[in-house]
Structure 1
Amino acid sequence: MGVFLFVLSATGLYAEERKNEEIIIVSESWADATEKDGTGLYWDIMRQIYEPLGYNVTNFTTNYSRSVYLVQTQKMDIFLGSYIDEQEDILYPRWHFDAEHVAAAYKPSVIKDWQGQESLQGRTVGWVKGYGYDEYLVRTDFAIQEVKNRRQGLSLVDSERIDMLIDAYSEIEEAFQENNKVDRRDFAVSVLTNLKLYPGFSDSERGKALRDIYDKRFELLLYNGQIATLFEQYEWEFFPFEVTSDK
């Protein structure tokens, strides 16, 4: 009992020391994950990791490329939604917090015989500026055209100025709902691969410390069931972890 009380006291003291220390986490705004109002699965995961230690977590939303820039230049601490080693001058943890289906939106009238990643051969492929999908796909000879946003990308596919738009499956479907200038029935959306999503930390002593805390706390929350509870609360599409009792 004495040891248990000591641990509780030490945890409380540590939290008190961190009470006024702010962590700024930045992300693109994704539905149910990183909403602009501070709600969402990913925001909740990060709060569960840091706030019990006494940190004050502040959320900020902007586009993806600016999110990366703000952490690379150490103006903010963490950005969300990166593939492993995707960005330079960024520290990556051991644990991912989610995974996503990466898909291609295309017109079957243009690509008549879809063959997965082989269908990229000789094509003009678009994705949102700052995303480095070419690092994670089987490299074939295709041209890359970066776009401002997914709505623009779908319009370019629709007008046949590019052959396909690559992005997360859920983001493509959401973009169809936001772009009333294209007809979803003219498109096919096919999964290319699955990629794990990580937080990216500033390449600094502070970033290293926050990364180490993230890995330790995420593993704890994963194996005590709190991460699964959050995924269930948000009715998430799938749970990208294999958790066994004999870890």
Structure 2
Amino acid sequence: MLRHRLRVSDYRWVLIGLLFIAVQPTVFAKQSTLTFRAPDPGPVGDAVIEILEEAYQELGISLQYVDMPRNRSLVEANNGRISGELGRLPDLEAHYNNLQRVPFELFAFETVLVADRRNCGLCTLDDIDNAAFISGMQTVLHALEEAAFSKPTVQALDISQLHLMFSNQRVQAVLLNDFEARQLGYYSEPHLIITPIRQQFGYHYLHQQHAHLIEPLTETLEAMHDSGRVTEIYRSHGVHFQRTKTFEVSPYFSQISATAGLWRTLTHVDGSGRYWQLVKRIFEPVTDSLTLNTNSYQRAVLGLNEQRFDFLVGGVKNQASIHGIESLTHLDYDRDLYAFTMDQAAMDALLEGELKLPVCYVAGYGYHALFKGEMIFYQADSSLDCFAMLDMGRMGAVVNYRENMPDWITTPYVQYKLREAVPVHLIFHDTPRGRELRDWFDYRMRQLVKSGEIKEIFSDAMLERSHFTKNLPPKS
């Protein structure tokens, strides 16, 4: 027999080998590689991959990925042909019995509706005529079911096809995760409104044949979270989860301060004006002290940037001079923006970025990105100052609105439209307090428009200009 031919030293090595095998985690023996559907490219998906690969590596397991549609991956995962799902909604196991959730909140996200404000104003599910979403997105299907949405929908194969359908205006709106909307640049487009629909956490799922991995994997992920490693990985990919606050009860702020430039009929020094009326209607019920400060626009912007005020009324998206976050819901639209010169030669030089004399605009705004070259820009205190210096030959061009042209014109200016009207927002600080104030404004603004209460504050012309007439209740 074999045992009679083994020396004592041989027995020792056999025993050591058996002991080594025995102390290895069972996962080594059962599975060394797991296979999942490859996520759509993007910072969140890349971060999730890095987190899970690092956690599984601690268990001696490597990961590999295959390309397939989301719907198909659920079927494949449930049937055990792939190992599970990298990140999905909670309660997935209720519909796919063979999938088991790893009880660790892997990421947070919101399902959002994206549409063009000019077509649907506030653009809630009630306001759109059709929508598209990626096939297999359970969050969207649940949201549409909850809202009893009965209008036409189209399902795209992937994020690229969804974006193509939307950008080609084949659908009025798209529904997707907020991190996908950021990836596509939707949050930066002035005319696109982002409407939060549903908040969720994402979890990792495994097929039941890998259920023995759930406990050690959860412990590893929790340890990574407690050490700050999970946050570190997300930040390295530029991912910051900021969920929109929902309000079951009204918030409370001991004091709130707001600032704005001086605009006729909108923001008077004495606290009257339609914008100030709106601010009072929204914020007075949630504070003991609401302070309204009307300044020059430059001082208003500077006051916000120096954190002397909680928010600025009258900013636009991507305004380089302002440091903060804008409201998701606009309060108005401004007007078409024009360049003015004394003659066509000056206008041609301006548009080519070769104008020698300075370009004048009201301090607080920033229009450098609208032009080529490296021209000289001059900030004036008022529109009239700019036009006066243009007439005197001290300025080569003025950037402003037609409505601000002076009454003294004797010779018509050469005019060129630089951009169409864009939405006007409230701008808040990017802090927990600032985000809560922003979310409260968005929440109440939608209520005011949907109820028709906004008509007590805004004129018919303002409602038309801001596209809110599309959201008002039907006339009785």
What SS does the corresponding residue of 1:184 show, helix, strand or coil? Answer: coil
> Which range is displaced more, 144-153 or 214-223?
144-153
Selected match of 1:205 from 425, 432, 452: 432
Match status 1:216 vs 2:443 = yes
Query: In the alignment, residue 388 of structure 2 is paired with which amino acid?
Result: S
Counterparts in 2 of 1:60 and 1:113: CA distance versus 1, 3 Å: closer
Aligned to 2:327: 93
How high is the sequence identity, in percent, across the aligned residues? 21
Alignment of 1:41-190 (within 5 A): 41-54=274-287, 56-86=289-319, 87-101=321-335, 102-107=337-342, 110-111=343-344, 119=351, 121-123=353-355, 124-135=358-369, 137=370, 139-141=371-373, 143=375, 144-170=377-403, 172-173=404-405, 176-177=406-407, 183-188=408-413
What SS does the corresponding residue of 2:334 show, helix, strand or coil? Answer: strand
Query: In the alignment, residue 192 of structure 1 is paired with which amino acid?
Result: L
Aligned to 1:36: 269
- TM-score, length of structure 1 as denominator length: 0.75
Q: In the TM superposition, what whole-angstrom CA distance separates every residue of 1:136-189 from its partner, at most 9, and x where no partner exists?
A: x3x32362222232222111110122222112333x23xx25xxxxx3232335
Q: Structure 2 CA distance, aligned partners of 1:208 and 1:154?
A: 38
In structure 2, stretches of 5+ residues that fail to align are 1-247
Counterparts in 2 of 1:241 and 1:113: CA distance versus 1, 3 Å: same
Q: Structure 1 CA distance, aligned partners of 2:448 and 2:352?
A: 39
User: What is the aligned length?
Assistant: 218
Structure showing greater radius of gyration is 2
Query: Could you tell me whether the CA contact under 8 Å between 1:157 and 1:163 is conserved in 2?
Result: yes
Query: In the alignment, residue 359 of structure 2 is paired with which amino acid?
Result: V
CA RMSD of aligned residues (A): 3.0
Aligned to 1:7: none
Query: Could you tell me whether the CA contact under 8 Å between 2:267 and 2:273 is conserved in 1?
Result: yes
Q: Structure 2 CA distance, aligned partners of 1:159 and 1:206?
A: 47
Query: Could you tell me whether the CA contact under 8 Å between 2:324 and 2:427 is conserved in 1?
Result: yes
- TM-score, length of structure 2 as denominator length: 0.41
Cα displacement (A) at 1:225? 1.9
Q: Structure 1 CA distance, aligned partners of 2:389 and 2:352?
A: 16
Counterparts in 2 of 1:202 and 1:113: CA distance versus 1, 3 Å: closer
Aligned to 1:240: 466
Q: In the TM superposition, what whole-angstrom CA distance separates every residue of 1:194-231 from its partner, at most 9, and x where no partner exists?
A: 12211111232221110110111111112222234422
Cα displacement (A) at 1:118? 7.6
Higher RCO structure (Cα 8 Å, ≥6 apart): 1
In structure 1, stretches of 5+ residues that fail to align are 1-9, 178-182
